[in-house]
Amino acid sequence: MVKSRIKLFLSMIMAFSLLLVVACSNENTDSDADSNGLEEGESNTVEPEEGTEDATTLSLWTFVAYHQDHFEYMVERWNEENPNEQIKLEMTNYPFEEMHNKLLIALQSGVGAPDFANIEIKQWSKFLQGSEEDISLEPLNDMVEPILDNAVEARFTNYSKDGNYYGIPTQVAATVMYYNKEMMNEAEVDPMSIETWDDFVEAGLKVKDATGKPMTTVESADTWTFWPIISQRGSDLIDEAGNVIVDNEINTETLQFLSDMVHEHEIAIPAPGGNHSAEEFFGFFSDGGAASVMMPAWYMSRFRDYMPDMAGNIEIAPMPAWEKGGARSAGMGGTGTALTNQSEHKDLAKRFLEYAKLSEEGSIALWTILGSEPPRWDVWDKPEMSEDNEFTELFGNDIFEKLSTIRDDINPINITDDSSRAIDLVSNQLLYNVIREGQDVEEGIKKVADEIRDSQ
């Protein structure tokens, strides 16, 4: 308990320091309007049509403005269906770091937190530090457990600790391959014929010969290449018991494979900008800079928002397996919505959250409004899931047919007290040094693993 309290105290100091940095650098943070035209830091309030006199006000913090589109749609439906229990929903979008740091401080100080908050998966470990008594989020087991048999359970496990579920996922985040059809056709390679990573390398050599371009890109400043590919093999950065396993045999072998694609086979290059969400990468890929990119299904919205010219030219396919018949996906990334213990209307807030994200209507809206694959797979065959929309224009109408073939391949990932530290060191040291600088894999991976262990 003493160790836990020391960790909490240190976390508060770190979070406060980070908030100061963010506050001091606000002028340099991007403030681009998102898809709904909302500026970061700007509030958006949805009021009942009949007025707010008898409405209950609930608040939500987000770090991706277009996530608010879903809640806006669902609170309007709630108010239509519940005339005697109206909700006024106040939503605020903050820059990524600012929102998570502001939320952490509000929860640890006991004042200022919203009713709900969308927390990015790599940030979750900061909010699940210590024992159940230390956690300032409400357990949501009574909402989650009844639907688990019809859902991808691993996605809920990611936001749980000691048997309690604290977050409701926004998507399955199944990792897939996005292939450039024109480039694959030029190389006379059918993306759906690529079953294993050996097949992928062989196809990559054909693409390089035919087009002069790399088959794919590897992130050197983020984890969306390395983490899913080790999760696909049943590994992780930290095991269930909290032990650092960054340098285990599977991870070392997998990182060597990625390094070989870049430095030996030369069919891959480091992602321009360091990661697949960088502005430099969007321009590079939409100009035919590489024949494929591996990212979770939530990346479909990046094509919609930043690479719309590729509509009709992208083939979605499962990840290659490590052996024929092996797992062909990994659940990676995503956002979980939490209910804070500072909510003054916990019962109503919980019922609205269940309606918005776990009901059949809410699950379908996650796709039709956000383009997210709902964690409840029992709605994937509903007619609304194959109707024409801005995502089917980009990728075709059989998206959920493909996702249905890989839903059982999704492993949970371990989110522990040390996850944020591990992710940071893997992203900013290990992958940069190995993928971009060509560092020896065994040397680099052991050094970073030991550094994480020393900080535990």
- pLDDT band with cut points at 50, 70 and 90 for residue 334: confident
pLDDT of residue 52: 73
pLDDT at 229 over 60: yes
pLDDT at 225 over 90: yes
- Dist CA 257 CA 263 (whole Å): 10
Looking at 137-207, which runs of residues are DSSP E strands?
160-161, 164-165, 168-169, 175-180
Q: What is the mean pLDDT of residues 111-122?
A: 95
Is the distance from CB of 101 to CB of 50 less than 8 angstroms?
no
Residue ranges and CATH numbers for the domains of the chain are: 42-169+334-402 (3.40.190.10), 174-332+413-454 (3.40.190.10)
pLDDT score for 195: 97
List the single range of 8-12, 43-47, 50-54, 250-254 with lowest mean pLDDT.
Answer: 8-12
pLDDT (mean) for 209-223? 97
The pLDDT-based confidence of 308 (bands split at 50, 70, 90) is very high
Q: How many CB atoms lie under 10 A from the CB of residue 408?
A: 11
Spatial neighbors of 215 by CB under 8 A, at least 6 apart, are 200, 203, 204, 205, 207, 208, 261, 267, 268, 290, 291, 292
User: Contact, 337 vs 116, CB < 8 A?
Assistant: yes
Q: What is the mean pLDDT of residues 279-297?
A: 97
Q: Are 73 and 369 within 8 A, CB to CB?
A: yes
Nearby residues of 71 by Cβ (< 8 Å), 6 or more positions away: 46, 60, 89, 91, 356
What's the predicted TM-score (pTM) here? 0.79
pLDDT tens-digit profile of 133-167? 999 999 999 999 999 999 999 899 999 999 999 99
Mean pLDDT of the chain: 89
> For residue 162, how many other CB atoms are within 10 A of its CB?
9
| pLDDT greater at residue 431 or residue 11 | 431
* pLDDT value for 40: 55
